[in-house]
Structure 1
Amino acid sequence: MKMSLNRLSKPAVISILIFFTGFACSKSANTGSVAEPVTARATISKDKINIGDKVDFRLLIEAKGDIKQSPVDLSLYLQAFEIKDHIQKGPEKRWGKTVTEYRLVLTTFTTGNYEIPEISVKYTDKDSLEKEVKSNKIILVVEPVKSNPNDKDDIRDVKKPLTIPHSFWFWLFTVILPLIAIAAFFLVKYLKSGNVSKIMEKAEPARPPHETAYERLSKLKELKLVEEGKIREHYYILSEIIRGYLEARYELPVVERTTSEAYKEMLDSGKIKRKEVTIVKDFLEECDLVKFAKVIPESTKIEEDYGMGISIVDMTKVIPVIPELSTGGGAKV
């Protein structure tokens, strides 16, 4: 027996409509939303610090199933900060997931609002398809150091001038004897330099910077620091060799500069091609990651960086021009 919709009570009709509407929505939600197999979440220990303070940065990557994750180069996203420490945990299995965790200690000496951008995490799924997931953005506020409320801002009275004794012994020990010692030092140095100049009347010409660099790179290889596990020491010496070469080659203060300062110095000088400056900057940043961020590269990467140091010398060295000998007649008398 068929029941007409008009004969149903009003509450019954409303209940039937609510039931079918909820069923359709739940069905759509279950078929339309698919959880990502990889998630990336970035956090910091504090969202506001004073200039020079340290803040802990953490990137947590969780993957489900048969996923192959690519390494993440965090230095590309944290160029505004100085990395004080760097630790990587994993990938390891936790609660049925493959978890990789990066922990860094950051600091900066410039005030302002810093945005740590979305960090791209690339991976290959079980179907060998390359995919990408991004972390969340983070805002870090760096404020100047606030003054201590206990500090006194008023101007204090000027202290009375000190009275200096004028006895003979005072002048003898504070002025006369030091002057005699200084004069004797320079006199001995002058006499010694005179004897040396007599022995070495003709000084040897200075070696080209690239020859010195090649010799030092060869000695670095002979030290076998990588085989002994002294990776950071290897990169420190490699960086110093290239910095010293560039300073001698172009007469630029590169050794005592940070990588960013050296990059600006080389770029502003106009002595080096922009492409070569970029290559040098990338090389020095790779060395800095090992020296300061405690990143341990693979053996193939270590060989590549050593070869890049040689390549920098190869492409920037001065090639001496040897004058052609005349094949004509003999010398005129």
Structure 2
Amino acid sequence: MAVPRNSLQTLSSTLRTLLICAVLVVPSLGAPGFAWAAAPTAPAAPVATPFPGDLALATSVSEENLRIADGSAIVIEIKNPDHWMFQPIDLSGADTGRFVVQGIEQETLAAPGPTERYTIRFALFHVGRFYFPPVRLEFVDAEGAHYFVESDCVSVKVASVLDDGGAGGLRKADGAVSIEEPDRRFAQGAILLLLALLLVGLGVLLARRLKGRNVAPAAPVAARPPWEVALERLRELQDAVEAGELEERPAYFRLSEIIREYIGGRFAFDALEMTTREIVKQLEHMTLPKGMDRTSFALFLSELDLVKFARQQKSAAETKENLGLAEKVVVQTRPKPAAADNASDRGGENAR
């Protein structure tokens, strides 16, 4: 399709006019007195710094022991005698963990003195102990300087998912409910403490080894016979029971430990790590001293187990009788002195 000549001429004239305008206008942009208009910029927000002085600040919790979905509040009060301008709390960037913040209120109290009060209302939907982090409070003093202070960290414990009505039903919760939410801060602290103690122990052990290389070894101390140790511990236990220093169940635990330790030392096996049935089975393969009956001894150990694990109650007379039986077991199973030693002892006594 042919383009009319007059249309081409009109287009050519228009382009020529635009080119002339550009030649005349562009050089004037660099002329004196001409400047590009800069886009307006917002003034930089002042940066708050820690307050160098002391302010009376108190942090409290309206209810520290909660149940799931119960509401509570963290109350922060700060004395403001100079009527400084405190800013609203902003928790948008704070890590509040399990706390569900339901609202923040700020008010100025006139009595008993000018005080700024912040109330942070929250709820928890998990069981355990939780810690609300310190809250940053920013304010502007009379001279226009921007400062901030921080509140204390507070803890709240959620004890149960059951209500107090006794009906046994679960409380209505607004969110997901976790049956148990353990507080891992204590476990982490305990692990760090154990690691520190381990390092200290290794250092002490290494120091002792280095120090003791040139020291002559000490003479070995003869171990006491197990029957002597057992009889001494039984007398101490009997004195403690008669004086009322031990309750029944702890006394039976100690009595069982004394007898098991003695039997293991007397017959050379680890009776402390065995059950009553395993101890009796171990004794079946041994030649026992005269006067020791396996069946009676098994019944005695079972009697102790009933108090330890089944919480069977015993009277004071029965406890005294069991202590006597334990002493009788030790006396009947300890090694008897040789006949020759007895004869020499009698000869020495006659000579004296």
TM-score bracket, shorter-length normalisation: 0.3 to 0.5
* Structure possessing the higher radius of gyration over alpha carbons: 2
TM-score calculated relative to the size of structure 1? 0.38
